[in-house]
């Protein structure tokens, strides 16, 4: 029997539920025949009706949304009382419209915009640019992984940090967005942000790497 006032999810169950919800909201909603809006919202009751969620409660989803350290999810209630949930970013679904999901950046950035990657990947990136790969957008953080203000957008395991010249890229027509959890995203041009928009590149020791 759970202890009084115990959270509805233990750490292991929280990770498992987050993986299920992340897949559904970012990648699998259409395949699973769930109604997902252009801004990424899905009805919580529709999710709970899925077989993989038959043992999940609304309270557990609410706890996950409230306590996720990366603020991956957003939970809202409609005027009619229906609860909806969405992923803040990271989608591969073509139905999702960036302008509906996020806020377009229209002013000069006063914070760094950084993409983290590995040394192995950097060899290709410095020649071909950053690619959105199978997702809708390339992801960036507004600082390095050790910055307490950075909750998401860059992996702590990153070995190489690519600083983007957002103002130059925007002048050339590249659109950038800010998600609800403060991740910066861009489709680039044909899915690519070219090396010409790299302001500087450093390693973990803050040493500059050759472009």
- pTM for the whole structure: 0.88
44, 61 contact by CB (below 8 A): yes
Which tokens is 28 given?
A: 């699998």
Q: Which pLDDT does position 5 carry in this prediction?
A: 56
How far apart CA 142 and CA 166 sit, in angstroms, is 12
Place of tokens 């060899």: 123
Q: Which pLDDT does position 148 carry in this prediction?
A: 78
Q: Which residues in the chain show pLDDT less than 70?
A: 1-6
How far apart CA 188 and CA 18 sit, in angstroms, is 28
Q: Which pLDDT does position 4 carry in this prediction?
A: 46
Domains of the chain: 11-87 (1.10.10.970), 98-203 (3.20.170.30)
184, 178 contact by CB (below 8 A): yes
How far apart CA 96 and CA 13 sit, in angstroms, is 28
DSSP string, the chain: -PPTT--SS-HHHHHHHHHHHHHIIIIITTTTT----TT--EEHHHHHTSGGGTT--HHHHHHHHHH-TT--EEEEE-TTS-EEEEESS----TT--HHHHSEEP-S--SS--EEEE-HHHHHHHHHH-EE-TTSSSEEEBSS-TT-TT--SSS-TT--EEEEE-HHHHHHTT--EEE-TTS-EEE-TBTTEE-GGGEEEEEETTS-B---
Q: Which pLDDT does position 69 carry in this prediction?
A: 87
């Amino acid at each position: 029997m759970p202890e009084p006032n115990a959270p509805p999810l233990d750490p292991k169950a929280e990770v498992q539920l987050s993986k299920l919800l992340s897949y559904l909201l970012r990648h699998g909603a259409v395949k699973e025949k769930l109604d997902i809006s252009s801004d990424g919202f899905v009805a919580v009751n529709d999710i709970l009706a899925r077989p993989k969620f038959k043992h999940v409660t609304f309270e557990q989803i609410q706890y996950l949304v409230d306590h996720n350290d990366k603020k991956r999810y957003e939970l809202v209630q409609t005027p009619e009382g229906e609860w909806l949930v969405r992923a803040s970013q990271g989608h591969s679904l073509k139905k999702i419209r960036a302008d509906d999901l996020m806020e377009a950046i229209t002013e000069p950035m006063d914070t760094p915009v950084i993409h983290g990657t590995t040394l192995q990947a950097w060899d290709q990136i410095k020649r071909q640019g950053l690619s959105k790969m199978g997702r809708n957008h390339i992801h960036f953080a507004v600082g390095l992984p050790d910055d307490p203000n950075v909750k998401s957008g860059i992996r702590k395991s990153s070995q190489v940090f690519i600083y983007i010249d957002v103002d130059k890229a925007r002048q050339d027509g590249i659109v950038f967005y800010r998600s609800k959890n403060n991740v910066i995203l861009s489709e680039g041009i044909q899915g690519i942000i070219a090396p010409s928009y790299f302001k500087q590149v450093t390693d973990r020791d803050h040493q500059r790497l050759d472009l």
